[in-house]
Amino acid sequence: MEDLIGFVSGNNNRQKLLALLGSKHNLDADKMAKNMRMAYPSVNKIIQELLEKDLIKQENGSYSLTELGETVERRVQSI
């Protein structure tokens, strides 16, 4: 768990993306990019990293936090 918290907290954009999904619950990559004011390829790279770590999941073209992602997001916000 601590390694995942370090992974997320070590990158401001990962933190922002998890927090965004924590508040909005379901978003597609385009909406995340617009909300974060980032280019789609940059957001897509972060999405892939978070998918690999099982922090987010994809369903019907939208992304949301996994249970693990929710836990990590709450812990990172409390730092």
Could you read off the pLDDT of 27-41 as tens digits, one per residue?
999 999 999 999 999
pLDDT above 90 (res 59): yes
The DSSP code for 55 is S
**What's the whole-number mean pLDDT along residues 43-62?**
97
Per DSSP (E only), the strands in 1-79 are: 56-59, 62-65
Q: Note the CATH architecture for domain 2-77.
A: Orthogonal Bundle (1.10)
Q: What is the dihedral of CA 37, 15, 49, 64, to 10 degrees?
A: -80
Per-residue confidence band for 79, with pLDDT thresholds at 50, 70 and 90: confident
Every domain of the chain and the residues it spans: 2-77
pLDDT above 90 (res 48): yes
pLDDT above 90 (res 15): yes
Percent of the chain whose pLDDT exceeds 90: 97
